[in-house]
C-alpha cells in the first residue's frame, strides 16, 4: 500500500470512530442524545471537502443531512445513497467493549453502528 492509501484508510477509520463515539441512540420518544451532534459532525466533514450539505430537522433533534453531487452526464439517471445516523440503544453490560468507544481491535472497528 502506498502512503496516500494508508492516509485515506486512516482517515476513514478516524471518521468511523468519531461517529461511533457520539451516542446517537434512538429510544423512539425523541429523547436520543446525539443525533443532531452526529449530523453536525457529518456536515463539517462534507464542508471540509468542498461540498454544501443541507440540513433538515423533522422533529427537534431528528436531523437529516442531504448533499447533492452533480454527475458528469446529466442525461443519465440519478443515484441516491442513503444512510442513517441513529442506532438502537445499547446496554453496555451486553458488550465486551464500550459500545460507544469506537475501538480498533483485530483489524475491525467495534461499537454500536459499526456493522
Tens of pLDDT, residue by residue over 18-55, are 999 999 999 988 888 889 999 999 999 999 999 999 99
Percent of the chain at pLDDT above 70? 99
What confidence category does residue 2 fall into, taking pLDDT thresholds of 50, 70 and 90?
confident
The residues with which 57 forms a beta bridge, in sequence order, are 63
Q: Report the predicted TM-score, pTM, of the whole model to 2 decimal places.
A: 0.88
pLDDT, tens only, 72-89: 998 999 999 999 999 999
How many angstroms separate the CA atoms of 99 and 112, rounded? 5
Query: Chain-wide mean pLDDT for the chain?
Result: 92
SS (H, E, C) 57-93: EEECCEEEEECCCCCCCCCCCCCCCCCCCCECCCCHH
The residues with which 103 forms a beta bridge, in sequence order, are 110
C-alpha cell at 81: 445513497
Amino acid at each position: 500500500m502506498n502512503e496516500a492509501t494508508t492516509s485515506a484508510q486512516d482517515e476513514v477509520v478516524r471518521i468511523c470512530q468519531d461517529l461511533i463515539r457520539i451516542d446517537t441512540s434512538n429510544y423512539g420518544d425523541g429523547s436520543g442524545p446525539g443525533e443532531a451532534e452526529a449530523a453536525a459532525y457529518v456536515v463539517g466533514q462534507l464542508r471540509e471537502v468542498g461540498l454544501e450539505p443541507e440540513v433538515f430537522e423533522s422533529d427537534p433533534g431528528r436531523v437529516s443531512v442531504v448533499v447533492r453531487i452533480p454527475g458528469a452526464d446529466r442525461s443519465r439517471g440519478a443515484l441516491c445513497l442513503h444512510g442513517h445516523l441513529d442506532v438502537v440503544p445499547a446496554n453496555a453490560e451486553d458488550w465486551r467493549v464500550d459500545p460507544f468507544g469506537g475501538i480498533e481491535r483485530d483489524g475491525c472497528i467495534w461499537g454500536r453502528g459499526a456493522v
